[in-house]
Amino acid sequence: MKKIIALALAVMMAVCVFAGCSAKSEKLTMATNAEFPPFEYLENGEIVGADVDIAKAIAEKLGRELEITNIDFDAALTGAATGKYDMAVAGITANDERKKNMNFSVDYYTASQAIIVLADSAISGVADLEGKTISCQEGTTGEQYLLDNEYTVQSFKTGAEAVTALTSGKVDAVVIDDAVARALSAEQNGKTKVLDEALTQEAYAIALKKGDDKLTAEIDKALGELKADGTLAKIFEKFELPYDAE
């Protein structure tokens, strides 16, 4: 009888600990813009991509439940900066301008701005872009580069729309992050190509609210571990993203 009571008590305690634990498991909220293959995109209505896998791995390390919200890119940035979401993971370039308003994790990927043109275009490099009309995605470093260099710019909510502007003859070129340029161009059945010459050198990092140093440090630690144990390399390989783990 004593044994049964002891066992029952042990089971009850285990259940309490377990239930208490799962009820307390804090959410880790993430904003992204699932229009940026292969970092984040929709597949059968589900948000997938390299950033999603990285965020899942981080959430697991932090013992928190990941909740992803899909919104416009600029809204994702603002949402992280204001603390509406714990973080934004969206192929976000960590640059000095943005660092004024938000925290950034350590870098996790190196990128650049690339040029997409029609397959038979006479544009073969940056020098040929002079005087041309170029489309891009709103609120991005690509847009900023084009404005800074005084090109005629047409901005769209998504990279896909920027590419449609090219294939429908409204613009001469698209400027967008290199890996995304390759992914979007590959969907055009040979109508477009990505030029070898890139425009910038950038690094992706996770954006957080300015001053949220505790979570930033936790994410940095998780990213460091995921890099060291090869998880990051594996994720980038899964999405066919070139990666040099220095």
Return residues touching ligand GLN (CB under 6 A): 33, 36, 73, 90-93, 137, 140-141, 177
Nearest approach in angstroms of CB 145 to ligand GLN is 10
The DSSP bridge partners found for residue 47 are: 42
Q: Is 130 or 187 the residue whose CB approaches ligand GLN more closely?
A: 187
Nearest approach in angstroms of CB 230 to ligand GLN is 25
Q: Is 33 or 78 the residue whose CB approaches ligand GLN more closely?
A: 33
Nearest approach in angstroms of CB 93 to ligand GLN is 4
Per-residue tokens: 240: 């066919």
Q: Are 102 and 208 in contact (CB under 8 A)?
A: yes
Nearest approach in angstroms of CB 32 to ligand GLN is 8
Nearest approach in angstroms of CB 151 to ligand GLN is 16
The DSSP bridge partners found for residue 36 are: 40
Q: Is 53 or 177 the residue whose CB approaches ligand GLN more closely?
A: 177
The candidate with the shortest Cα–Cα distance to 73, out of 169, 238, 204, is 204
Q: Are 116 and 163 in contact (CB under 8 A)?
A: yes
With CB atoms as reference, the residue minimizing the distance to ligand GLN is 140
Q: Is 80 or 90 the residue whose CB approaches ligand GLN more closely?
A: 90
Q: Is 73 or 108 the residue whose CB approaches ligand GLN more closely?
A: 73
Q: 205 in helix, strand or coil? A: coil
DSSP string for 80-143: HHTTSSSEE-SS-B--HHHHTTEEE----EEE-EEEEEETT-S--SGGGGTT-EEEEETTSHHH
Q: How many helices (H) and strands (E) does the chain have?
A: 9, 15
Q: Is 70 or 167 the residue whose CB approaches ligand GLN more closely?
A: 70
Nearest approach in angstroms of CB 141 to ligand GLN is 4
Nearest approach in angstroms of CB 140 to ligand GLN is 3
Q: Are 32 and 69 in contact (CB under 8 A)?
A: yes
Residue with tokens 């460091």: 224
**What whole-number distance in Å separates Cα of residue 229 and Cα of residue 243?**
15
Q: 236 in helix, strand or coil? A: helix
Q: Is 86 or 177 the residue whose CB approaches ligand GLN more closely?
A: 177
